[in-house]
């Protein structure tokens, strides 16, 4: 083992061994943190104060950003990784896990986030892609990654690259849940169909959806993705969160939906409660009361094609 690996634990090649026979950066650990987030809500925050509000509301993690997706949309320009100083100030403020985004394919941004000790990296289509052919080789990192997907093939391609958690892409920054529903239904519905296939059909199916056969077979055996699946993109109300949980996701990302609404603290708390009690409609109804104005939405069906970001990534 090199000195670099001894000092840094995992060194620069993801998995490794520390003193006392401790194994670090394994798939089990990367996927395991996502399992700890299940049944919870991960909230976009742009300041340490917002992070504190999210934690107080019961968020199970926060996504540290300079701009929420709605502002990235409104302001245009190139959207990049956030300032590490901002991310660190958020990490210092809360005890829950902190995630941050890098651009698709931008492994240098990913290395910077890993170097500051981020808990999870979102290789995100919300930022401007840095590489139009290649995603980050996520197996090579000690820190786990979450990636967006619109269908089962895309989800399994990301997992084959080393993603330890998948989220629907949805259409971020719109407050319109329709795309998150489309993507979650696609992923979960395709798994349901896969479970009914004979093996010879699976070979053909793997080719059709451009996913590695081993992962297709593993998904069929498990009856679910081999990693945790969250909903993201356009979730703005407790009812949206309950809807996504009923479709079969393991938890919820809320981006612009909280801090672009009239009463962020109350809305954040209500979305956490609706995610836990998604099976109890009386509770979902109760927590939906008196939340003030939701974020002003953008209807995705009338949005020009060039404004859509879910198509980024491949």
Partner 1 sequence: MRIGVLALQGDFIEHEHMLARLGIEAVEVRLPRELEGLDGLIMPGGESTTFGKLAVRFGLVEPLRAFAQSGRPVWGTCAGLIFLAKDVGRDQVTLGLMDVRVKRNAFGRQIDSFICDLQIVGLEDKPFPGVFIRAPIIESVGERVHTLCRLEDGTIVAARQDNLLATAFHPELTDDLRMHALFAQVCERSSPGRVAYET
How far is it, in rounded angstroms, from Cα 228 to Cα 35?
6
- Binders in 179-208 for partner 1, by CB under 8 A: none
How far is it, in rounded angstroms, from Cα 72 to Cα 107?
21
Q: Give the single-character DSSP code of 46.
A: S
Contact status: 86 vs partner 1 (CB under 8 A):
no
* 153 versus 162: smaller Cβ distance to partner 1: 162
* 118 versus 243: smaller Cβ distance to partner 1: 118
Q: Which of 26, 89, 128, 160 binds partner 1 (CB under 8 A)?
A: 26
Give the number of other CB atoms < 10 A from CB of residue 196. Answer: 8
Q: Which of 85, 67, 78, 38 is nearest to 224 (CA)?
A: 38
How far is it, in rounded angstroms, from Cα 43 to Cα 254?
5
Q: Which of 310, 243, 250 is nearest to 279 (CA)?
A: 243
Q: Which of 188, 215, 165 is nearest to 42 (CA)?
A: 165
Contact status: 24 vs partner 1 (CB under 8 A):
yes
Q: Is the alpha carbon torsion for 33, 34, 36, 37 positive or negative? A: positive
CB-CB contact of 54 with 43 (8 Å): yes
- Binders in 137-156 for partner 1, by CB under 8 A: 142-144
Clarify whether 169 is annotated catalytic: no
Q: Which of 1, 3, 7, 20 binds partner 1 (CB under 8 A)?
A: 20
Q: Give the single-character DSSP code of 177.
A: T
How many residues form the binding site for partner 1 (CB under 8 A)? 45
Q: Which of 6, 28, 207, 212 binds partner 1 (CB under 8 A)?
A: 28
Q: Which of 35, 210, 214, 299 binds partner 1 (CB under 8 A)?
A: 35
- With contacts defined by CB under 8 A, name the span among 37-45, 78-86, 122-130, 254-262 that binds partner 1: 37-45
3-state secondary structure string across 267-296: HHHHHHHHHHCCCCHHHHHHHCCCCCCCCC
Active site residue: 6, 38, 101, 195, which one?
101
Contact status: 49 vs partner 1 (CB under 8 A):
no
Q: Which of 59, 206, 252, 258 binds partner 1 (CB under 8 A)?
A: 59
CB-CB contact of 183 with 147 (8 Å): no
- Binders in 101-140 for partner 1, by CB under 8 A: 114, 117-120
Query: In the stretch 254-293, what mask flags binding to partner 1 with x, by CB under 8 A?
Result: ---------------x--xx--xx--x-------------
Contact status: 212 vs partner 1 (CB under 8 A):
no
- With contacts defined by CB under 8 A, name the span among 71-79, 92-100, 153-161, 231-239 that binds partner 1: 92-100
Tokens of 33: 């943190």
How far is it, in rounded angstroms, from Cα 55 to Cα 43?
9
As annotated, the active-site residues are: 101
Interface contacts to partner 1, rule CB under 8 A: 9-10, 18, 20-26, 28-29, 32-33, 35-40, 55-61, 91, 95-97, 114, 117-120, 142-144, 269, 272-273, 276-277, 280
């Amino acid at each position: 083992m090199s000195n670099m690996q001894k000092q840094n634990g995992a060194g620069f090649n993801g998995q490794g061994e520390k003193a006392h026979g401790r194994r670090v950066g394994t798939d089990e650990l990367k996927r395991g943190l996502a399992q700890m987030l299940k049944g919870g809500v991960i909230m976009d925050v742009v300041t340490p104060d917002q992070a504190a509000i999210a934690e107080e509301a019961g968020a199970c993690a926060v996504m540290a950003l300079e701009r929420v997706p709605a502002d990235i949309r409104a302001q245009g320009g190139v959207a990049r990784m956030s300032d590490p100083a901002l991310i660190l100030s958020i990490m210092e403020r809360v005890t829950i896990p902190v995630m941050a985004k890098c651009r698709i394919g931008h492994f240098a941004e990913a290395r910077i986030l890993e170097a500051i000790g981020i808990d999870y990296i979102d290789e995100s289509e919300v930022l401007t892609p840095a590489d139009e052919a290649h995603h980050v080789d996520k197996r090579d990192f000690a820190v786990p990654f979450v990636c967006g997907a619109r269908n089962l093939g895309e989800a399994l391609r990301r997992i084959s690259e080393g993603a330890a958690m998948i989220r629907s892409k949805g259409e971020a920054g719109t407050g319109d849940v329709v795309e998150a529903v489309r993507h979650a239904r696609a992923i979960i519905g395709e798994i349901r169909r896969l479970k009914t296939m004979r093996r010879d059909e699976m070979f053909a199916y793997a080719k059709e959806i451009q996913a590695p056969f081993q992962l297709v077979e593993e998904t069929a055996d498990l009856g679910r993705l081999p990693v945790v699946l969250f909903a993201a993109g356009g979730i703005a109300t407790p009812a949206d969160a309950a809807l996504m949980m009923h479709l079969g996701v393991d938890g919820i990302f809320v981006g612009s939906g909280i801090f672009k609404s009239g009463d962020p603290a109350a809305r954040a708390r209500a979305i956490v409660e609706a995610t836990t009690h998604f099976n109890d409609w009386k509770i979902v109804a109760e927590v939906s009361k008196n939340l003030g104005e939701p974020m002003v939405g953008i209807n995705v069906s009338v949005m020009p094609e060039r404004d859509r970001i879910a198509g980024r990534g491949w």
